[in-house]
């Protein structure tokens, strides 16, 4: 018997209704469909988004939770993750497209590896206004490699992850964090708590290409990353020498590497 699971989606006032529809279509087209879809928001969302949600509530078990005060993604997911009915929760971003076998493969892995708490996958990058593939992004597959990578970059792509709700709540749940790094901050605390993670080698999700970094965005990312390194140091995921080496490396990464090299030479960027 297939284990029951929830899908958790965060939307806000900037969410694209067409992308949300595309994302929900991909979830319901999976070989194994979720037992519930929990859509969360805070603040105001457009009538178009509300219309998309209402339309899908006629097709599937969709629970919609909102709060009138606008918060960011971290606070919103912290507020409504407990509303998910099942232990296994799959994250689905508005702009993400789940491959047809995504949930089937992740459920099978959890069954085979019950000690894993967080399971992501590789992902396919597509052009922002089309489904044309741009690149495949690989991520570390084993817990030991994830623990090495977490010191320098986020080891999970948020929209690919399925996790055990109890492990997330035990690690302090989501928290607000600048520049949409709330997921990175969460994974750091989950790994620091001793829970294990893994990534599947298959690209189970497609998502639009990220925009190039502007100077202002790079500054905020650098400051947020520096604080994350401090947290990892406190959790003993890295030592003092590694902390300073990585902070200096991230300064180079954000301010000294031009966008053309970020795009064309990912190995330099990484």
pLDDT for 167-197, tens place per residue? 999 999 999 887 678 999 999 999 999 999 9
Average pLDDT taken over every residue of the chain: 87
Residues 80 and 136 both lie in one domain:
yes
pLDDT for 208-257, tens place per residue? 876 544 444 566 566 667 777 777 788 777 777 777 776 677 677 766 56
Percent of the chain past pLDDT 90, that is, above it, reads 66
**DSSP H or E segment with residue 125:** strand 116-126
Rounded Cα–Cα distance for residues 183 and 177 (Å): 8
Residues 14 and 75 both lie in one domain:
yes
Total domains present in the chain: 2
What's residue 48's pLDDT?
96
What's residue 218's pLDDT?
61
Residues 166 and 224 both lie in one domain:
no
Asked whether the beta carbons of 243 and 233 are under 8 A apart, the reply is yes
Confidence band, pLDDT 50/70/90 cuts, at residue 15: very high
Asked whether the beta carbons of 91 and 17 are under 8 A apart, the reply is no
Tokens representing 249? 């490396």
Rounded Cα–Cα distance for residues 195 and 128 (Å): 35
What's residue 222's pLDDT?
65
Residues 34 and 15 both lie in one domain:
yes
- DSSP-derived pairing of the beta strands 116-126 and 196-208: parallel
- Of 208, 224, 252, which one is at a domain's C-terminal end? 208
Rounded Cα–Cα distance for residues 103 and 241 (Å): 40
Beta-carbon contacts of 255 under 8 Å, excluding residues fewer than 6 positions away, are 215, 218, 222
Residues 32 and 150 both lie in one domain:
yes
Residues 43 and 96 both lie in one domain:
yes
What's residue 260's pLDDT?
54
- Of 185, 208, 231, which one is at a domain's C-terminal end? 208
Domain span at residue 265 reads 215-269
pLDDT average, residue stretch 112-137: 87
What's residue 101's pLDDT?
97
What's residue 265's pLDDT?
42
pLDDT at 199 over 60: yes
Give me the residues paired with residue 37 across strands.
7, 62
Residues 199 and 243 both lie in one domain:
no
pLDDT at 268 over 50: no
- Of 193, 208, 223, which one is at a domain's C-terminal end? 208
Residues 161 and 27 both lie in one domain:
yes
Instruction: Give 269 or 14, the one with higher predicted confidence.
Output: 14
pLDDT at 68 over 50: yes
Residues 161 and 257 both lie in one domain:
no
What's residue 221's pLDDT?
65
Instruction: Give 89 or 134, the one with higher predicted confidence.
Output: 89
pLDDT for 204-219, tens place per residue? 999 887 654 444 456 6
The DSSP code sequence of 230-267 is HHHHHTTSS-HHHHHHHHHHHHHHHHTS-HHHHHH-HH
Residues 117 and 21 both lie in one domain:
yes
Task: Please tell me the least confidently modeled range out of 66-80, 84-98, 130-144.
Answer: 130-144
Residues 230 and 131 both lie in one domain:
no
What sign has the CA pseudo-torsion 57, 75, 180, 118? Answer: negative
């Amino acid at each position: 018997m297939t284990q029951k699971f929830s899908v958790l989606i965060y939307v806000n006032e900037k969410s694209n209704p067409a992308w949300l529809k595309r994302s929900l279509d991909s979830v319901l087209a999976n070989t194994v469909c979720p037992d519930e879809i929990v859509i969360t928001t805070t603040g105001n969302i457009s009538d178009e988004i509300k219309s998309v949600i209402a339309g899908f509530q006629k097709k599937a078990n969709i629970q919609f939770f909102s709060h009138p005060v606008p918060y960011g993604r971290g606070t919103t997911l912290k507020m409504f993750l407990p509303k998910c009915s099942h232990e296994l929760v799959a994250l689905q971003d508005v702009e993400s497209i789940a491959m047809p076998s995504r949930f089937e493969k992740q459920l099978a892995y959890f069954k085979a590896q019950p000690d894993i708490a967080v399971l992501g996958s590789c992902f396919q990058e597509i052009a922002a206004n089309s489904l044309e593939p741009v690149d495949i992004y690989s991520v570390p597959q084993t817990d030991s490699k994830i623990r090495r990578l977490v010191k320098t970059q986020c080891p999970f792509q948020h929209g690919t992850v399925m996790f055990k709700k109890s492990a997330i709540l035990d690690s302090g749940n989501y928290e607000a964090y600048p520049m949409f790094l709330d997921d990175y901050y969460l994974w750091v605390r989950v790994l620091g708590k001793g829970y294990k993670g893994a990534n599947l080698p298959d690209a189970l999700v497609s998502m639009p290409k990220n925009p190039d970094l502007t100077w202002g965005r790079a500054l905020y990312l650098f400051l947020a990353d520096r604080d994350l390194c401090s947290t990892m140091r406190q959790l003993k995921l890295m030592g003092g020498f590694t902390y300073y080496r990585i902070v200096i490396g991230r300064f180079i990464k954000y301010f000294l590497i031009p966008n053309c090299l970020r795009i064309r030479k990912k190995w330099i960027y990484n």
